[in-house]
Amino acid sequence: MPLNGVSPAFLIGAGRSGTTLLYKILSSHRAIGYLGNYQSRFPSQPWTGLLHRVPNIFPSLKRKFWFDDEGGAYFNEKRRLVNSLVPTPAEAEPVYTSSGVRLNSETNFVPTDYVATRLAHTFEVVRRTSGARVLLSKRTANNRRLTVISAIFPEARYIHLVRDGRSVAHSLLKVGWWNDHVLYWSGLTPRQMVEQGVNPLDLAARNWSEEMGSLEQGICMIDARHILEVRYEALLANPRTELTRMLTFLGVSEIEDGEFWRIVDSLGLKVRSESWETAWSDADRERVTLLQAPTLRRWGFAMGSAQ
């Protein structure tokens, strides 16, 4: 698996850790394929990967339609129709569900041969028709189904993007989908839980810890040689160094792509002051740090006064 094809790669990481940004950056390289908006709309038609050749022919489309003017990759509002016509990397959950991979697969869920074959076939057709050497998929739900993914793709590679949980919590509270997003670990939305009296900051803080816990459980089942850990903070500080490391891991570093690096340089990636440090009160900073303390320590993040 995949069927006489190339094993895919997966970008994993807690939501709001910068995975969308990194997914679009890596997918900007002409040798890296992706699941996109057309596969989301037509999951049973993987030949739509042919359309991905258009942005490779006209790479300026990637910078114009995949990123905003400031270099951000996440769009918090509905985009114009013309934007949606350009092939764009997407989480493409319909590709998984149409193949029989459940959104929240139970820990004992074992994919049947039919499920494995169908998903592997879809991935390989998208990769081949798009002209890519490797297919990269980013789907937040995969954080909780790594055992399923690894069973289908035993030779797959994983890039794990890790970001300080306090930055993640602060970011979660700012995105439009958060309040009505069903939390897999509670079965309720943040809005419902806040109505029950739960502090919204506590929810955002706990969500990162829960996601990191799910990731840890899945990662321990995967050969360490197949996983590359990347720190979001390091990516911003040294984008060319970190991206070269990732391209090498994905096996495409020898393929020259000047347009890729021009896009990267245009994004203006750099270390910025963490918003949570100034936006939160001392009490809020202490509160979130204490809530996330065990996970922050395991992943080597500075604890500050809450240590």
Per-residue confidence (pLDDT) for residue 1, from 0 to 100 = 44
**pLDDT more than 90, % of the chain:** 85
Q: Locate 55 and state its tokens.
A: 């942005």
Per-residue confidence (pLDDT) for residue 2, from 0 to 100 = 47
Q: What's the CA gap between 41 and 44, in Å, rounded?
A: 9
Quickly list DSSP for 107-143: TT----HHHHHHHHHHHHHHHHHHT-SEEEEE-GGGG
pLDDT in tens, 184-216: 999 999 999 999 999 999 999 999 999 999 999
pLDDT in tens, 215-258: 999 999 999 999 999 999 999 999 999 999 999 999 999 999 99
Find the angle CA(105)-CA(108)-CA(113) to the nearest 5 degrees.
80
User: 88: exposed, middle or buried (C-beta count within 10 Å: 0-12, 13-18, 19+)?
Assistant: buried
* Contact criterion met (CB below 8 Å) for 32 and 178: no
**Of 103 and 101, which is predicted with more confidence?**
101
pLDDT in tens, 147-181: 999 999 999 999 999 999 999 999 999 999 999 99
| pTM across the whole model | 0.94
pLDDT in tens, 2-55: 445 789 999 999 999 999 999 999 999 999 999 999 999 999 999 999 999 999
Instruction: State the pairing for strand pair 134-138/32-34.
Output: parallel
Per-residue confidence (pLDDT) for residue 81, from 0 to 100 = 63
Mean pLDDT across the chain: 93
